[in-house]
A and B are shown apart, each in its own frame.
Chain A
Amino acid sequence: MSQLSSRHLLGLESTPKSDISLILDTAETFSEVIERKIKKVPTLRGITIVNLFYEPSTRTRISFELAEKRLSADTVNFSTSTSSVKKGESLRDTVQNIEAMKIDMAVVRHSSPGAPYFLTNCMEANIINAGDGSHEHPTQALLDMFTMRKKYGRLKGLRVLLVGDVKHSRVIRSNLWGLQTMGADVALCGPSTLLPREVERFGCDVYTNLDEALEGVDVVNVMRIQLERQQAGLFPSQREYTNLFGLTKDRLKRLNKNFTIMHPGPINRGVEISSEVADSKNSVILEQVTNGQSVRMAVLYLLSGRKEELA
Chain B
Amino acid sequence: MATNKFDMVIRGGKVIDPELGFGKDATILINQGKIAGIEIESAELKKQIENLPEDKIVDASGKLVVPGLVDIHVHLREPGREDEETVVSGCRAAAAGGFTTICCMPNTTPRIDSQEAVKFVQDRAKDADARVFVVGAITKNIEGKELAEIGDLVKVGAVAITDDGNYVQNPEIMRRAMEYSRMFDIPVMEHAEDQFLTIGSVMNESFQSTRLGLPGTPSVAEEIAVLRDIALSRLTGASIHIQHLSTKEAVEAIRTAKKEGLRVTCEATPHHLILTDEEIGKEFNTNLRVNPPLRSARDRDAVIEGLIDGTIDCIASDHAPHSAEEKDCEFDQAPPGMIGLETTLGLIKTFLIDKGLLSWADAIRKMTISPAKILDLKGGTLAVGAEADITIIDPDKQWTVDPKKFYSLSRNTPFDGYKLSAQVYKTVLGGRIVFER
CB within 8 A of A90: which of B205, B284, B328?
B328
The closest CB in chain B to the CB of A173 belongs to B213
Cβ < 8 Å to B, chain A residues 47-69: none
CB within 8 A of B329: which of A84, A167, A198?
A84
Determine whether the beta carbon of A113 is less than 8 Å from that of B207.
Answer: no
Chain A min CB distance to B366 (Å): 32
Determine whether the beta carbon of B213 is less than 8 Å from that of A90.
Answer: no
Determine whether the beta carbon of A83 is less than 8 Å from that of B210.
Answer: no
Q: Is A144 an interface position by the 8 A CB rule?
A: no
CB within 8 A of B209: which of A91, A110, A117, A196?
A196
Chain B interface, number of residues (Cβ within 8 angstroms) = 21
Q: Is A199 an interface position by the 8 A CB rule?
A: yes
Determine whether the beta carbon of B328 is less than 8 Å from that of A197.
Answer: no
A114 vs B286: C-alpha distance in the bound complex, in angstroms?
Answer: 10
The closest CB in chain A to the CB of B284 belongs to A114
CB within 8 A of A84: which of B206, B210, B330?
B330
Determine whether the beta carbon of B210 is less than 8 Å from that of A198.
Answer: yes
Q: Is A99 an interface position by the 8 A CB rule?
A: no
Determine whether the beta carbon of B212 is less than 8 Å from that of A114.
Answer: yes
Determine whether the beta carbon of A85 is less than 8 Å from that of B333.
Answer: yes
Determine whether the beta carbon of B210 is less than 8 Å from that of A133.
Answer: no
Determine whether the beta carbon of B329 is less than 8 Å from that of A90.
Answer: yes
Determine whether the beta carbon of A92 is less than 8 Å from that of B329.
Answer: yes
Determine whether the beta carbon of B284 is less than 8 Å from that of A197.
Answer: no
Q: Is B211 an interface position by the 8 A CB rule?
A: yes
Determine whether the beta carbon of A92 is less than 8 Å from that of B328.
Answer: yes
Cβ < 8 Å to B, chain A residues 82-99: 83-85, 90-92
Chain A min CB distance to B135 (Å): 29
A118 vs B280: C-alpha distance in the bound complex, in angstroms?
Answer: 13
Q: Is A136 an interface position by the 8 A CB rule?
A: yes
The closest CB in chain A to the CB of B280 belongs to A114
Q: Is B216 an interface position by the 8 A CB rule?
A: yes
Q: Is A168 an interface position by the 8 A CB rule?
A: yes
Residues of A within 8 A of B214 (CB): 113-114, 133-135
Q: Indicate whether A91 sits within 8 Å of B213 (C-beta atoms), given known contacts A198-B206, A198-B207.
A: no
Determine whether the beta carbon of A115 is less than 8 Å from that of B330.
Answer: yes
Chain B min CB distance to A123 (Å): 14
A115 vs B330: C-alpha distance in the bound complex, in angstroms?
Answer: 5
Q: Is B332 an interface position by the 8 A CB rule?
A: yes
Chain B min CB distance to A179 (Å): 16
Chain B min CB distance to A196 (Å): 4
Q: Is B67 an interface position by the 8 A CB rule?
A: no
Q: Indicate whether A197 sits within 8 Å of B330 (C-beta atoms), given known contacts A113-B214, A113-B284, A135-B213.
A: no
Interface residues of A (CB under 8 A from B): 13, 83-85, 90-92, 110, 112-115, 117-118, 132-136, 167-168, 170, 173, 196-199, 201-202
Other A-B pairs, 13, CB within 8 Å; known A133-B213, A170-B213: A13-B211, A83-B333, A85-B329, A91-B329, A110-B330, A112-B330, A112-B333, A113-B212, A118-B330, A132-B213, A173-B211, A198-B207, A198-B210
15 A-B interface contacts by CB (under 8 A):
A91-B330, A112-B332, A113-B213, A113-B214, A113-B331, A114-B214, A114-B284, A133-B213, A134-B214, A168-B213, A170-B213, A197-B207, A197-B209, A197-B218, A201-B210
